[in-house]
Amino acid sequence: MSATDSKYVIELTSDDYQKAKIEVAFLLDAFASTIDNIMGGNTAPVGRIAGRDTAEKLPVHLTDPTLVETIEVLRSQMQAGFDFTLEGDSLQFKTCIIREMCAVRKIETGGALCHLFHSYFDGMTNGLLCRPVKSTLVSSGDECSLQIFVQ
């Protein structure tokens, strides 16, 4: 039997996708809230470690990269859920799946889930750039802005 046999094909409706989106939003919220409660709000180390681990697994090899090159690689890797650009030391998130997940759960942006994601992003950037990276949330809402610092 082939993988295209009707016995193995699952047809999903837009309602199925909406239910999945709600479930993922719930799980992300629960995960971030739990880590935030356990860590007393200091979730940055957890996010950075996870981000560096992810960077090691990306099918990317950069030789002596710049921040601009690193951000462009991440932009390419993450384009399905994010649209962001680097303008100087300002990282502008136009589209963000995390923001969409916050909206589903009616969570204000800039909270625990966003902080965890920003630390995760810092860790990925650090892992690819091979230099310490820290971002600070400047503004959140329909678009988010982070100031990014590299040592």
Q: Give residue-wise pLDDT tens across range 12-62.
A: 898 998 899 999 999 999 998 999 899 887 888 999 999 999 999 999 989
Residue 2: the pLDDT is 55
Residues contacting residue 126 through CB under 8 Å, at least 6 positions apart: 48, 51, 52, 55, 132, 133
Strand partners, 135: 148
Counting the structural domains of the chain, the total is 1
Domain assignment of residue 109, yes or no: yes
Residue 92, pLDDT above cutoff 90: yes
Cβ atoms < 10 Å from Cβ of 143: 14
Domain assignment of residue 39, yes or no: yes
Note down the domain range covering 94. 14-150
Domain assignment of residue 8, yes or no: no
pLDDT band at 3 (very low <50, low <70, confident <90, very high): low
Domain assignment of residue 2, yes or no: no
Residue 116: the pLDDT is 93
Domain assignment of residue 43, yes or no: yes
Residue 50: the pLDDT is 96
Residue 43: the pLDDT is 86
Mean local confidence (pLDDT), 69-92: 95
Residues contacting residue 78 through CB under 8 Å, at least 6 positions apart: 84
- CATH number for the domain including 24? 3.30.1380.20
Residue 85, pLDDT above cutoff 90: yes
CA 86 → CA 11, 71, 134, distances in Å?
Answer: 39, 7, 14
Domain assignment of residue 7, yes or no: no
Cβ atoms < 10 Å from Cβ of 101: 23
What's the rounded Cα separation, in Å, for the pair 66 and 31? 33
Domain assignment of residue 9, yes or no: no
Domain assignment of residue 5, yes or no: no
Residue 1, pLDDT above cutoff 60: no
Q: Give residue-wise pLDDT tens across range 94-144.
A: 999 999 999 998 988 888 999 999 999 999 999 999 999 999 999 998 999
